[in-house]
Amino acid sequence: MSDHLLSMDEMKQVDDYLDRGFKVHYVYENLSGMFVEFERQKEEVCLQILTAEARKYLAAKLHEQTLL
């Protein structure tokens, strides 16, 4: 899969979680990529983000979340 398609897929996954009412709970990075923990009530899910474009997209969405 090309980097562009992978980025689009990762951004779509971020949007899907946010649209379903999840909030970003915790973000951490290591050599394997960025890991984002989403939380909704008692439910938690973790998403691994590998591409730089999707990381920038998540940062923008996280900024929006803190402003609301």
- Give 42-52 pLDDT, tens digit per residue: 999 999 999 99
Q: How confident is the model at residue 67 (pLDDT cuts 50, 70, 90)?
A: confident
Residue 20 near residue 63 (C-beta atoms within 8 A): no
Strand 23-30 relative to strand 33-40, pairing: antiparallel
Note the pTM of the prediction, 2 decimals: 0.89
Q: What percent of the chain has pLDDT over 90?
A: 82
In angstroms, rounded to a whole number, what is the distance separating the alpha carbons of residues 63 and 33?
A: 20
**Closest C-alpha among 37, 41, 8 to residue 24:** 37
Residue 36 near residue 58 (C-beta atoms within 8 A): yes
**pLDDT tens-digit series, residues 21-32:** 999 999 999 998
